[in-house]
Amino acid sequence: MKSLSEIETTVKRASKAAGYSWGVSEETGKSIRLLELFSLPGIKHLNEYFNEKKKSKFENLNLISESNSSSKNPYCPITLGVSFLDQINTLEHLKKIQFKNVAYPIIFISFISRSSEIIGKKIYVKMDEKKILLNLNVNISSNFIEQEFPKLVNTIELNLLENEDNFTDDEWNNLYKLSEETFVEESDSLKKGAAGAGLTDND
Amino acid sequence: MKVELRDPNKIMKLSRLGSFHQSKLSFLRSFLNEFKEWEYKRDLFNLNENGFGEAVYSFKKNKRVYSLICFANEIKDEERSDRVIATKWDAAFTLHDGVPTKKDIERLKNEVPKQEVGRLSYKELTLSRANKSVRIYNHVVESLSKGKQPDLNLLSKVGYLYRTTAVYGSGKFGLADRFRIKNREEINGPFRLEMMLVYLVRQFTFDQVNHVAYHKNPKIAVKLDDNICKNLGIGNSTGLGMAPFIVNHPTLLNNWILSREKALKKIREIKNVKGEDRDLFTDCIKKSLKNITSWNTDSEYQQKKISSLLKDVEKFLNFIDKDFNFKSEYPFNKIYQWLEDNTCEECIEYIVSIMMEPYNDIINPLVKEMSSEEEKYFNIPTYRKVEELRNIIEAKYPNILDINFEEKENNKNFWFISKNKEEPRLADRFEEHGSELEQPLAIARDIKKLYDKLLVSKNSLTIAEFLTSNSELRHVVRRAFIVEKFPYSEIQDNTIGKDLMPIDMLRLKLSFFGALKFDPRSDKWLRICMFQGAPLPNELKSYDEQWVYKTNI
C-alpha cells in the first residue's frame, strides 16, 4: 500500500512534469492525497487526465463567474480547481455556480472540498444526475460512490449551503428537555454559594 | 527587563545556522527524557556465531509497544558503502508498531534489508540501515575474545561501532504516515521515533560484539565494559538528502528555532541566577572541552571552526573566572552580549546551548512546541491584497532583496533530484545539464522575482487575481504568507550562490537531532555521532541529564 505521503510527493512531481508550476503542483498533490484518503479514485483519474492531456486540448478557466461554459474544449480540472480555491471568498456570496464541460470532475471535486473548509460551508454538487455533498473537507458523501466516476461531465452545479440545522425545532427541544434531567434545581443557599461570585456587582 | 527575540535576519543566515550545537531541546535528549519510564526489553536475539541473524528490542508502557527489528547480514568488504548508491548493508532495521508476529518478521526479513527498494507497511514506523566501522568493530571483537577491553585511544578516534547511512520515516516506502500516530502523547516531538530507532540500534551493536566475541572464544571472552559502551554512540553519515527538508517544512523549522530563541530570551531575562545554576552552567562548559578536543576531522573548514571555538571557549572561561560577577543582575544577558562582542558564531551558539542546562522549567514546555501542524498553514489567503504581500516581503526578506541574481555567482547552483536514487543533489547550472528540472529550493531568487512582479502590479489586486497571471510564483507567495506568521521559517540566505556551504543546512538539522562531532567529508557530506555518553537502556530510570558533557573517551 502506498502511503499518503508518497502519493502527495509523486503527484506533485508528476504535475510539475505535466507542465504545471511548482505552486499548482503542490496544490494538486494535496488534493489527490485527499481523494485517496477518502478512497476516491484520485490517482486513477489524474493518470488518465495526464495521458489525455498529451493528445487533447483543455481549457483553462482563470476567472470564475456564476455561469461558466467552455464550448470548444473541456475545462482542465486542475486549473479550474485552483482558480475555485483561490476565488472561493469572492464566490461565497453566490448561491449557485454552474460549469459546463468539465474534464475529470473528480479532480475538480477535491479542490471544491478544500474550499468548503475555507468558507466553513457545506457545498452540494450536482454532476449531471449524480449528487455529492462536500462536508467542510471532513468527508465527501455521494449517491454513486460505487459507480465509475465520469471522465467528462456536461454540467456541474454547485450550491453553497447556508449553515443550517439538519433537524426541526421540535426534535431539538425534545432532546434538550431530556438533557435537562441531568441538571440540579438550585436552592437559595446553592444560588448564593455554588457559583462563587457575588449576587450584585455594583461596586 | 524585557529582552527581544533575536532578529531572524541575523539568526537565519546559513553561517549562523551552521554553527548550532546540540542542547537540552535536541530530539535525542527529549526522547530519552520521554521514554525513561518505559520498560525496555530484548525480546529476541537469534544471531549465529558470526553475528548474523535477527534481533528484536522493545519499549513498552501500558498497552503501547514499539519494537526494533534488526537484521544483521553478511556482506563483502567491497559492497560496504555509506553512499546512497549502496544496495547492501551490515545491518538493516525497522521500528514496528506493536509486537511483531513471526509472520511480520518473515515479511520484514524480505523487505527491510532491501531498504529503498523494499516495501514496508503502515505497521512500520521508521526504517534504517547501518555499516560497521570495520576497524573499530574488528578491534573490539578481537580484544573481547582475548579477554581484554579494547584500546580506548582507538575508540575515541571514531566513537561508535556502527554508523547509520539513512533513517527514514513519515510514509516513505510505505511506512506509516505521520497522521496515523500524531495524537500519541509520547511522540509529540519531532523525529522521536527516528531517535528511538537509533538508540536501540546502539544497544544492538554492543550485544552483537559481545555475542561474536563470546563465540570466538567462549572460555576467555569478556563483555564490553558498560562504561565503555556508554561512551560509544552511533555514527551517522549524511549527505544532501537532509538539506531540502528544512526548506520544505517552513513552519516546523520555525518551531525548532523559535523554541531555541524563546529559551535564550527567557534565560537572559533571569534577574538573579542561583549559585547551583551558575555552577551547573560553568561545570558543563568546562567538561564539554573534552568534546571539543576529541572532535576529530580531516576537513580544513571544520578544523578552523573547531580551533576558533576552542580558543573562544577558553577565552570565555577566563572571562567568567576573572572578570565576571554572576551575582550582578541579569548575568546571562551580560554574558550573551559579551559573547556577541568577543567570540565567533560557533562559540556564541555553543554557549547559548549550554545556558539551557540548568533550566528544565524553561526548556521542558518548549520541547512540546517543536512539532507543527503544517497542513493548517498550507492554503494561501488569496483574499488579501498585493500591497500587503509586498509589505510582508519588504519586512521579512530585507537582505534577500539586496541580492542581484543577474550576477552569475549568485545564481551559480541548482538543486535537482537524481534519477538514479531519487535523492536531492546540487550542481553548477553553467557547467552541468539539467537546470531546467530545478527543484523549488531557490527561495531567495524566487522571492526576489515575486517582489519584482509585485512592484509593477496594482496595490488593490487580490492575491487570487495576481495568481491568475503569475502561477509560476505561487510556491513563494505561499511561503511569504507563512513567514509573516512564522518569523524563523525561512533561511535568510541564498541557497544557490557560489559561496553556499550545503553542510551548514545539514548541520542545522543535525544539531536539533542532538548530534556531536560534525565531521565534514566534503562540502556536501558529513559524519556525526549520536548518543555518545548517553545512558544505556537499563540505566534510563535514573540518569545524569548532563551526560552529553561527560564522555570519557
pTM attached to this predicted model: 0.93
Q: In whole angstroms, what separates CA B156 from the centre of its chain?
A: 22
Segment B255-313, tens digit of pLDDT: 999 999 999 999 999 999 999 999 999 999 999 998 888 888 888 888 898 999 999 99
Q: Which residue is associated with the grid cell 516581503?
A: B393
Closest residue in chain A to residue B437, using alpha carbons only? A17
Segment B354-374, tens digit of pLDDT: 999 999 999 999 999 999 999
- Encode chain A in three state secondary structure: CCCHHHHHHHHHHHHHHCCCCHHHHHHHHHHHHHHHHCCCCHHHHHHHHHHHHHHCCCECCCCCCCEEECCCCCECHHHHHHHHHHHHHHHCCCCEEEEEEEECHHHHHHHHHHHHHHHCCCEEEEECCEEEEEECCCEEEECCCCCCCCCEEEEEEEEECCCCCCCCHHHHHHHHHHHHHHCCCCCHHHHHHCCCCCCCCCC
- For residues B463-468, average pLDDT: 97
Least confident of A100-104, A199-203, B88-92: A199-203
**Distance between CA B500 and CA B14 in Å, rounded?**
8
Residues of chain B with Cβ-Cβ distance to A86 below 8 Å are: 380, 382, 463-464, 467-468
pLDDT of residue A203: 66
- Enter the DSSP assignment of B63: T
B448 residue type, one letter:
K
Using DSSP's 3-state secondary structure scheme, residue B126 falls into strand
pLDDT band at A201 (very low <50, low <70, confident <90, very high): low
Domain ranges for chain B = 36-239, 374-485
Q: Could you give the residue ranges of the DSSP H alpha helices within B13-90?
A: 14-17, 27-35
Residues of chain B with Cβ-Cβ distance to A87 below 8 Å are: 382, 464
Half-sphere exposure of B529 (CA within 13 A, CB side): 26
pLDDT band at A196 (very low <50, low <70, confident <90, very high): low
pLDDT of B177 higher than 90: yes
Question: Percent of chain B at pLDDT above 70?
Answer: 100
Segment B491-512, tens digit of pLDDT: 999 999 999 999 999 999 999 9
Left (φ > 0), alpha (ψ -120 to 50) or beta: where does B7 sit? beta
**Distance between CA A20 and CA B425 in Å, rounded?**
22
Least confident of A176-190, B358-372, B447-461: A176-190
Task: Tell me whether residues B471 and A24 touch, CB distance under 8 A.
Answer: yes
| Cβ within 8 Å of residue A10, ≥6 positions away | none
Which residue did the predictor score with more confidence, B177 or A202?
Answer: B177
pLDDT of B447 higher than 60: yes
* Burial track B110-143 (b if 16+ CB lie within 10 A, e otherwise): ebbbebeebebbebbbbbbbbbbbeebbebbbeb
The CA-atom distances, in angstroms, between B79 and each of A18, A58, B161 are 38, 51, 18
pLDDT of residue B542: 94
- For residues B467-488, average pLDDT: 97
- For residues B137-150, average pLDDT: 98
Task: Tell me whether residues B382 and A86 touch, CB distance under 8 A.
Answer: yes
Beta-bridge mates of residue B47 = B53
Task: Tell me whether residues B475 and A62 touch, CB distance under 8 A.
Answer: no
Task: Tell me whether residues A6 and B171 touch, CB distance under 8 A.
Answer: yes
Residues of chain A with Cβ-Cβ distance to B464 below 8 Å are: 86-87, 89-90
Using DSSP's 3-state secondary structure scheme, residue B43 falls into strand
pLDDT of residue B296: 80
Mean pLDDT score across all residues of chain B: 95
**Distance between CA B358 and CA B365 in Å, rounded?**
14
**Distance between CA B73 and CA B76 in Å, rounded?**
10
Beta-bridge mates of residue B393 = none
Sheet holding B160-168, edge to edge: B39-47, B53-61, B64-72, B91-97, B124-132, B160-168, B233-238, B525-530, B516-522
Segment A123-175, tens digit of pLDDT: 999 998 889 999 999 988 888 777 889 999 999 999 999 998 989 999 999 99
**Distance between CA B540 and CA B550 in Å, rounded?**
16
Domain ranges for chain A = 4-160
Which residue did the predictor score with more confidence, B57 or A183?
Answer: B57
- Enter the C-alpha cell of residue A134: 462536500
* Burial track B370-392 (b if 16+ CB lie within 10 A, e otherwise): bbbeeeebebbbbebbbebbbeb
**Distance between CA A77 and CA A18 in Å, rounded?**
13
pLDDT of residue A200: 62
Residue to test with chain A: of B379, B385, B453, most A Cβ within 10 A: B379
- For residues B485-490, average pLDDT: 98
- For residues B11-21, average pLDDT: 96
| Cβ within 8 Å of residue B504, ≥6 positions away | B14, B15, B17, B18
pLDDT of residue B405: 97
Segment B208-234, tens digit of pLDDT: 999 999 999 999 999 999 999 999 999
Beta-bridge mates of residue A102 = A75, A153
pLDDT band at B82 (very low <50, low <70, confident <90, very high): confident
pLDDT of residue B188: 86
Chain B residues bordering chain A (beta-carbon distance below 8 Å): 121-122, 170-179, 378-380, 382-383, 417, 440, 462-464, 467-469, 471-478
Distance from CA of B78 to the nearest CA of A (A): 32
pLDDT of A199 higher than 60: no
| Cβ within 8 Å of residue B175, ≥6 positions away | A3, B120, B122, B124, B125, B126, B127, B168, B169
- For residues B392-418, average pLDDT: 96
Segment B123-139, tens digit of pLDDT: 999 999 999 999 999 99
- For residues B238-248, average pLDDT: 90
pLDDT band at B383 (very low <50, low <70, confident <90, very high): very high
Taking the Cβ of residue A60 and every Cβ of chain B, the question of whether any pair is shorter than 8 Å is answered with no
For residue B272, count other CB atoms closer than 10 A to its CB: 11
pLDDT of residue B195: 97
Residues of chain B with Cβ-Cβ distance to A1 below 8 Å are: 121-122, 174
Whether A83 and B468 have beta carbons less than 8 Å apart is answered as yes
- For residues B390-395, average pLDDT: 98
Mean pLDDT score across all residues of chain A: 92
Beta-bridge mates of residue A159 = A96, A124
Whether B193 and B66 have beta carbons less than 8 Å apart is answered as yes
Residue to test with chain B: of A1, A4, A5, A31, most B Cβ within 10 A: A5
Residue to test with chain B: of A13, A80, A86, A138, most B Cβ within 10 A: A86
Q: Which residue is associated with the grid cell 555553543?
A: B350
pLDDT of residue A198: 57
Taking the Cβ of residue A65 and every Cβ of chain B, the question of whether any pair is shorter than 8 Å is answered with no
pLDDT of residue A192: 73
For residue B147, count other CB atoms closer than 10 A to its CB: 12
Closest residue in chain A to residue B175, using alpha carbons only? A3
pLDDT of residue B277: 97
